[in-house]
Amino acid sequence: MAVEHERKAALAAAQAAEALSDEVVELAVELIRRPSEIRPPSGNEGEAQRFLAGRLGELGYDKVDVFLPTDVPGIEQHPGWWPGQDFTGRPNVVAVRKGRGGGRSLILNGHMDVVPAGKPERWTYPPFEGVVKEGRLYGRGACDMKGGLAMAVMAAEAVRRAGVQLAGDLILESVVSEETGVYDGTLACCARGYRADGAVVVEPTQLEICPGLKGNHVYRMVVPGKATHNCLWWAGASAFDHAIYLKEGLRRFQEVRTEETRSHPLYADPRRFAVPALVDDIWSIQAGDPNFFAVPDEAVMYFMVEMLPGESREGVMRRFEEFVAEWASRHPFLKDHPVRLESPPLRPIFPVAVEESDPVFTVLRDTLADLRPGQPPVRGFESACDAMTLMLWGDTPSLIYGPGNLANAHEIDEFVSLDELRQGVRELAAFIVRFCGVAE
Ligand SMILES: [Zn+2]
């Protein structure tokens, strides 16, 4: 009976969501029009966050908590705190709607910061205007993730407008400082006591369910060489050539990794994950000096080695480092001139996933299956995100589900599809009801 009652309430919330199909777009536009670019070590999320706090204040929450991450007592001693940021004028916003008791509590989490838009003249539509065109909303953050934030706010609002009294608490978090891998915004929410029986992080997944994410370690590899006048190239030993040899090593180790991770349940689809766990992904290389005619005596490369949920981060790193040592030992120059593997100062990213039997996963899967034709796709998330923060430091099983395509995030002409945005409001509204339960 209770289940039937809940399904009806979920349907009512999904119907109420239909009536918000303009409002969700309007809210996303309002958020895009308040640029909240992150500029390490700072960011200008303040205006957008204050605007959202004001809007949430009109929507009948029991509490709207606006606080700087650094306001949380003892936060800088927290083992998860990543130092070096300036949080002046950059508050988190957390809105709480208390349940009547007896249900599961739920966190909806999104970040307000966006990556810088770059030169506006490169955009077809101005990055901070929020232009709607042919079924898409364009602008910086449309997909990552002001669209998702607007979806979360309107899904919660649909539940209220449907007159559904939730049994469990609903907690809506809009955080600062996510984009550069800092995660201190959500960490501060966890440390302030915001924990729940489940969380949905509304990053762009094209409304597919992502119950887990990859871990990684970023390496700075310093490759030695021997300088000499470039006209006597053969008398030197080019660090650039050595870097090419090492890149081939990365590719071989990646082959080993692909072999062992190809059947991972979350990363098995080769159309989406040509490589399940990256190794050969060098995004920066420097060798030699353009001002001198010399064979480069040093090359420096940056790349990341990834691990999948269920794997040990340290174990994969150890094996990789042993592989590099062995690979270098077979090179005539490198065998006597060690390659250095350094770790730049970045927060370590751990692979995490929720249990297959966890209600946050099963209830979302079942809710979506009821509202769409066919089974909803389930896969791993491509990147790191705050689901890790919530899992590691907030004891909250967290999955990722939101509108937009990550491939389109951080890009010129970033957009989100209006259909996806609206479908997300309906589905998430129904999920909130079924996860939190309905008060008797
Ligand atoms: Zn994001």
State the pLDDT at residue 2.
67
* Active-site residue, from 6, 45, 173, 178: 178
Per-residue pLDDT of the chain (440 residues; tens, 9 = 90+): 568 899 999 999 999 999 999 999 999 999 999 999 999 999 999 999 999 999 999 999 999 999 999 999 999 999 999 999 999 999 999 999 999 999 999 999 999 999 999 999 999 999 999 999 999 999 999 999 999 999 999 999 999 999 999 999 999 999 999 998 999 999 999 999 999 999 999 999 999 999 999 999 999 999 999 999 999 999 999 999 999 999 999 999 999 999 999 999 999 999 999 999 999 999 999 999 999 999 999 999 999 999 999 999 999 999 999 999 999 999 999 999 999 999 999 999 999 999 999 999 999 999 999 999 999 999 999 999 999 999 999 999 999 999 999 999 999 999 999 999 999 999 999 999 999 999 97
Domain boundary among 342, 364, 391: 342
Ion ligand 1: residues, CB < 5 A? 144-145, 203
State the pLDDT at residue 427.
98
Whether 76 and 159 map to the same domain: the answer is yes
Whether 222 and 190 map to the same domain: the answer is no
Whether 196 and 221 map to the same domain: the answer is no
Mention every residue, 6+ apart, whose C-beta is less than 8 A from residue 165. Answer: 99, 100, 438, 439
Provide the CATH number for the domain around residue 314.
3.30.70.360
Tell me how far apart the alpha carbons of residues 38 and 48 are, in angstroms, rounded to a whole number.
Answer: 12
State the pLDDT at residue 311.
98
Whether 247 and 155 map to the same domain: the answer is no
Report the candidate in 381, 402, 382, 399 with the shortest Cα–Cα distance to residue 391.
Answer: 399
Whether 127 and 31 map to the same domain: the answer is yes
Kindly give the distance from the C-alpha atom of residue 346 to the centroid of ligand 1, in angstroms, as a whole number.
17
Domain boundary among 342, 370, 385: 342
Distances (CA, A) of 438 to 12, 363, 367: 12, 14, 15
Domain count, the chain: 2
Kindly give the distance from the C-alpha atom of residue 384 to the centroid of ligand 1, in angstroms, as a whole number.
9
Whether 267 and 322 map to the same domain: the answer is yes
State the pLDDT at residue 4.
87
Q: Please state whether the peptide bond connecting residue 151 to the residue before it is cis, i.e. omega within 30 degrees of 0.
A: no
Tell me how far apart the alpha carbons of residues 106 and 109 are, in angstroms, rounded to a whole number.
Answer: 10
Q: Which domain holds residue 208?
A: 2-212+351-436
Report field, pTM of the whole predicted structure over 0.85: yes
Whether 82 and 206 map to the same domain: the answer is yes
Domain boundary among 314, 342, 370: 342
Report the candidate in 154, 150, 123 with the shortest Cα–Cα distance to residue 138.
Answer: 123
Task: List, in sequence order, every residue forming a beta bridge with 400; answer none if it has no partner.
Answer: 201, 210
The reply to whether 178 belongs to the active site is yes
Kindly give the distance from the C-alpha atom of residue 109 to the centroid of ligand 1, in angstroms, as a whole number.
11
Whether 384 and 333 map to the same domain: the answer is no
Provide the CATH number for the domain around residue 163.
3.40.630.10
Whether 159 and 83 map to the same domain: the answer is yes
